[in-house]
Structure 1
């Protein structure tokens, strides 16, 4: 079996080395490691060339990551049996390629994604780590995933060739979607392939270090997902995603209603303590604690965030904010008929040159 790894990179001089080293330390070595440098203005290319890998030094591409992936795939991955996609700030455990190769023999295998986690300190990174753990557990419980995250996933070569044969693209990755990972996973499932969360493969990735960068990242993810959902419509493949969108709005709404009721009771001097009044915060605390206990590499601070309830509940309200804002972005585009560069907005939020 021929295994090709594609690593798109944009100004990743600080992390590209450890990403490549994790690939070179695999128990099953990939046959090709392709570093696709997309418009880098730092030392990413120079660092990558120190290793036994193929480096594509490309100018700034119009369609950014998805175009970089298509160029790498068309040149080096088209005939591969297994194609691994990695971000340039991701580190894979040593058994990843070997286990993905074994998983690829499953019937109708379309792709498998890693169990992602963040090991950076700081409140915002810990909150994201809890989020990742919850989403991963949901995928494991369901036995499938709706997103094969490009940060660390493996794809069937045959399945990618089938998707690439569509008339609306020049490779497996679409230029119409701001969330190319979600769109590709949907197309694989639409074609009858299975997409999984691996039970044995973990990937370590960087988180957003502050609210500004987190908001920029999630606005791109959320707006891009909504755009895709509106294009795909409601069907058996998207119904759970539409339901999830509603739940993400309902959670903050319930919290806001609870606060309003308590505030109104205080204003009217009619607040009385009753056990049922604590049901809502106790319920959310129990759900959050259950998730926290599943977080890998957890420590006392991860548990404390849940016990204090305020930080993680604040994130839930902020999540509702970027969901509402993403619907506003969809409406703005509908009215003005002008696209907004969501990648550029994310780079700006992170303080990275676009």
Structure 2
């Protein structure tokens, strides 16, 4: 099936709309809007959607030449904010850019995204190569993690997630998804990871999605372990719930594989601890020199991956060469993979689930 049959309008006649949902983003919204206004291809509409804000987000946004669609606290939070703004301002657009209110885009973003979508009618959406520039230790670990994710997606030429942090989506694809009878707009209300579910629906229509090779987005990182844990639990629980709902098919097989690899990694780490403790209790634990070969290999791989980190510096290489920071991060990752599956399966039994959005807001103090 050709997702976009017939002749399309020339790109100079395209309409590009930017949707920026925001919840208590007074500290970052100005930079986000300023970057969106400073594009070589100006947006036709920039719509800031403060929803349920208790700070000055809306007032700051009104100081700029953008549309401010202020909303009360919504039952379905970001998804509902995006749907309302899309119906009001983006429904007829050729390109819809979704941008988090703590994200800054370079001046080439809109022009490059529009060109990508124009050149290939099968392209349903293009994500950004998002990264963090904060100098603290935890942000550097997240920056390295997303650099690896970006490289993997670029090598594949495909992605199963159009990151809500910053992406451009075909207007035609959004209209077709919105035509489904299980939603009020392109974004559904039953998923905690609305960007993953939307990307799946776009791909289901015959489009493909990618990470842009030229558009980088700079966004905030989680500043402490509690915030990071709750963010990743929201992502992971939402993904697991979506996969269980969708099932196994050619579009989800890779995502199921990633889940299995995550659980396998967690299981191997638990087994390693059990073996070490068992030998120690029996008084048979001995250090053998070739045990150190594996950490050396991991260090070499981490240092090699560090060369791909955007704006890499000496501290990034030092972290990569230190072994323990990345290893501890992997242990934490194994933790949220395991805990997410436990929580999802428990919620299936008890019919009760935790509000992951609220948990993340509380952790971040917003």
- Normalising TM by the smaller chain, what interval? over 0.9
Aligned: 1:62 with 2:75: yes
What are the Cα deviations for residues 183-236 of structure 1, in whole angstroms up to 9, with x where unaligned?
A: 000001111101010000000000000100000101100000000000011111
Choose from 127, 133, 150 the match for 1:119. Answer: 133
Aligned length: 351
Choose from 143, 162, 166 the match for 2:180. Answer: 166
Q: Distance in 2 between matches of 1:341 and 1:263?
A: 37
Q: Contact conserved, 2:266 with 2:338, CA < 8 A, in 1?
A: no
| Helix, strand or coil at the partner of 1:104 | helix
Give the unaligned 5+ runs of structure 2. 1-13
* TM-score, normalization by structure 1: 0.96
1:87-236 pair list within 5 angstroms: 87-105=100-118, 106-236=120-250
Return closer, same or farther for 1:270/1:216 CA change in 2, 3 Å cut-off: closer
Choose from 308, 322, 343 the match for 2:322. Answer: 308
Q: Contact conserved, 1:262 with 1:271, CA < 8 A, in 2?
A: no
Choose from 288, 295, 319 the match for 1:273. Answer: 288
Q: Distance in 2 between matches of 1:41 and 1:330?
A: 32
Q: Distance in 2 between matches of 1:336 and 1:269?
A: 44
CA offset at residue 258 of structure 1?
Answer: 4.2
CA offset at residue 282 of structure 1?
Answer: 2.8
Q: Contact conserved, 2:109 with 2:215, CA < 8 A, in 1?
A: yes
Bigger drift between 159-168 and 119-128 goes to 119-128
* TM-score, normalization by structure 2: 0.93
Q: Distance in 2 between matches of 1:154 and 1:42?
A: 28
Q: Contact conserved, 2:187 with 2:198, CA < 8 A, in 1?
A: yes
Q: Distance in 1 between matches of 2:343 and 2:76?
A: 20
Return closer, same or farther for 1:59/1:135 CA change in 2, 3 Å cut-off: same
Aligned: 1:2 with 2:9: no
Q: Contact conserved, 1:252 with 1:316, CA < 8 A, in 2?
A: no
What is the match of residue 335 of structure 1? Answer: 349
| Helix, strand or coil at the partner of 1:187 | helix
CA offset at residue 125 of structure 1?
Answer: 0.7
Q: Distance in 2 between matches of 1:272 and 1:115?
A: 42
What is the match of residue 4 of structure 2? Answer: none
Choose from 307, 322, 336 the match for 1:293. Answer: 307
CA offset at residue 249 of structure 1?
Answer: 2.5
Aligned: 1:49 with 2:62: yes
Q: Distance in 1 between matches of 2:74 and 2:173?
A: 25
| Helix, strand or coil at the partner of 2:329 | helix
| Helix, strand or coil at the partner of 2:307 | helix
CA offset at residue 271 of structure 1?
Answer: 2.0
Give the unaligned 5+ runs of structure 1. none
| Helix, strand or coil at the partner of 1:60 | coil
Return closer, same or farther for 1:42/1:290 CA change in 2, 3 Å cut-off: same
CA offset at residue 252 of structure 1?
Answer: 3.8
Return closer, same or farther for 1:260/1:306 CA change in 2, 3 Å cut-off: farther
What is the match of residue 28 of structure 1? Answer: 41
Q: Contact conserved, 2:22 with 2:100, CA < 8 A, in 1?
A: yes
Aligned: 1:238 with 2:252: yes
